[in-house]
C-alpha cells in the first residue's frame, strides 16, 4: 500500500529529530569524563540546570503546566528512573571509560524488545529479538574479553541501559497527551527533587571532598545541561510521537559511534581497547543498520 507524502514527511522529520538528538547525546560521555565531580553530584547539577532552563522555555512558549494527578505521579516515576539511569551512566564512565560505557548501551534494545510487550499492548516481534540478540553477542564479546578490569563499569552501564529502556517505553504513553516541554520539565524536576535528599548521605558514604564545580566544570555542566540534555530530550520525545520505543532505542545505539570517535580523538581510548571490542561494536552496529533498512518507508509510484 502506498505511503502518503505527508506520512513519509512526518516519518522523515521524526528520524531527523531522533538522529540529531543522538548526535548531541554522543557528547554526554565525553563531557562526563571531563567533569571532575562525582557521578551523583554531576547528575544533580545537570538536572538542576536543565530544570531552570526548561522552566524558562515553558514560560516563553506559554505552555500550561497543569497536569492531572495521575499524570503527575506517572511523570514522577519516569523522573526517578531518568535520575537513576544518569547516575548509573556516569558511574560507569568513572569506573571504566567512555568507549566501554557507550558500547554497552546497545543492551537497551534487548531490554526494550523484552519489556515493551510486557508493559504495553505491543506484541513480541521475533525480528526485534534477533537484532537485540546481535547486540547481546556484541556485549558478551566486549565483557568477557576485557583485559583492563572494567567489569564494574560494564555492569553499571548495563544497569543504566536496563533502567533507560523503561524511560522511552513509559514516555510513549504520555507524550501524546501533554506538550513535550511539560513532560520533560516535570520529569527533570522530580528527578532532582528525589535525588536531593540523598546527596548528603552520598557525600558522607563516598567521603567526597569536591562538592562544588570549578569554573571549567561549570561551563561544561552548562553545555551538558542545555545542548546535550535540554535540546535532545525535547527532540527525542517529539520523535517518539511517530516512532516506536524500540526504533528510538535502536537508533540510539548510534550514540556510541559518535561518543567513541570523540573519545578516541580527545582521550585516545583506542589504545586501551582490544580487537574483541571492535568486533563486538561491529555486531552491535550491524543490528542498527539492518533494522534501519527494514523500517524505512517505501514510497511507490502511483499505479
Q: What is the pLDDT of residues 201-239, one digit of tens each?
A: 999 988 888 899 999 999 999 999 998 988 887 787 778
pTM score over 0.85? no
Q: Are 107 and 161 a contacting pair, CB within 8 Å?
A: yes
Which stretch of 168-172, 188-192, 281-285 has the lowest confidence by average pLDDT?
A: 281-285
- Helix pair 5-34, 215-225: axis angle to 10 deg: 160
Q: Could you tell me which residue, 152 or 258, shows the higher pLDDT? A: 152
In this prediction, residue 302 has a pLDDT band, given cuts at 50, 70 and 90, of very low
Which of 25-39, 77-91, 273-287 shows the highest mean pLDDT?
77-91
171 pLDDT higher than 90: no
Which stretch of 5-14, 58-67, 126-135, 225-234 has the lowest confidence by average pLDDT?
A: 5-14
pLDDT at residue 261, rounded to an integer: 81
pLDDT at residue 293, rounded to an integer: 63
Q: What is the DSSP string of the chain?
A: -PPPHHHHHHHHHHHHHHHHHHHHHHHHHHHHHHS-S-HHHHHHHHHHHHHHHHHHHHHHHT------HHHHHHHHHHHHHHHHHHHHHHHHHHHS-HHHHHHHTTHHHHHHHHHHHHHSSPPP-HHHHHHHHHHHHHHHHHHHT--S--HHHHHHHHHHHHHHHHHHHHHTTTTTTS-HHHHHHHHHHHHHHHHGGGHHHHHHHHT----S--HHHHHHHHHHHIIIIIHHHHHHHHHTTTS-HHHHHHHGGGHHHHHHHHHHHHH-GGGG--HHHHHHHHHHHHHHHHHHHHHS--PPPP-
Which of 20-29, 190-199, 236-245 shows the highest mean pLDDT?
190-199
What is the pLDDT of the chain when averaged over all its residues? 83
Amino acid at each position: 500500500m502506498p505511503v502518503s507524502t505527508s506520512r513519509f514527511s512526518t516519518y522523515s522529520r521524526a528520524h531527523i529529530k531522533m538522529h540529531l538528538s543522538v548526535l548531541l547525546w554522543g557528547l554526554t560521555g565525553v563531557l562526563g569524563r571531563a567533569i571532575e565531580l562525582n557521578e551523583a553530584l554531576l547528575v544533580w547539577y545537570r538536572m538542576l540546570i536543565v530544570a531552570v532552563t526548561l522552566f524558562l522555555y515553558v514560560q516563553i512558549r506559554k505552555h500550561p503546566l497543569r497536569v492531572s494527578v495521575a499524570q503527575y505521579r506517572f511523570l514522577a516515576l519516569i523522573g526517578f528512573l531518568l535520575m537513576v539511569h544518569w547516575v548509573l551512566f556516569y558511574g560507569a564512565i568513572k569506573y571504566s571509560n567512555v568507549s566501554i560505557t557507550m558500547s554497552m548501551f546497545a543492551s537497551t534494545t534487548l531490554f526494550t524488545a523484552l519489556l515493551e510487550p510486557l508493559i504495553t499492548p505491543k506484541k513480541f516481534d521475533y525480528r526485534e529479538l534477533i537484532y537485540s540478540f546481535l547486540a547481546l553477542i556484541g556485549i558478551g564479546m566486549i565483557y568477557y574479553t576485557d583485559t583492563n578490569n572494567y567489569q564494574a563499569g560494564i555492569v553499571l552501564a548495563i544497569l543504566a541501559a536496563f533502567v533507560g529502556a523503561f524511560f522511552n517505553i513509559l514516555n510513549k504513553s504520555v507524550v501524546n497527551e501533554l506538550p513535550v516541554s511539560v513532560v520533560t520539565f516535570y520529569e527533570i524536576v522530580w528527578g532532582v527533587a528525589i535525588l536531593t535528599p540523598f546527596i548528603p548521605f552520598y557525600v558522607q558514604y563516598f567521603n567526597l571532598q569536591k562538592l562544588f564545580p570549578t569554573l571549567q566544570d561549570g561551563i561544561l555542566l552548562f553545555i551538558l545541561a542545555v545542548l546535550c540534555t535540554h535540546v535532545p530530550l525535547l527532540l527525542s520525545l517529539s520523535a517518539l510521537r511517530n516512532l516506536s520505543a524500540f526504533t528510538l532505542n535502536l537508533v540510539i545505539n548510534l550514540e556510541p559511534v559518535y561518543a567513541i570517535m570523540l573519545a578516541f580523538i580527545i582521550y585516545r581510548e583506542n589504545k586501551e581497547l582490544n580487537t574483541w571490542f571492535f568486533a563486538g561494536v561491529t555486531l552491535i552496529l550491524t543490528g542498527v543498520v539492518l533494522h534501519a533498512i527494514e523500517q524505512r518507508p517505501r514510497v511507490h509510484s502511483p499505479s
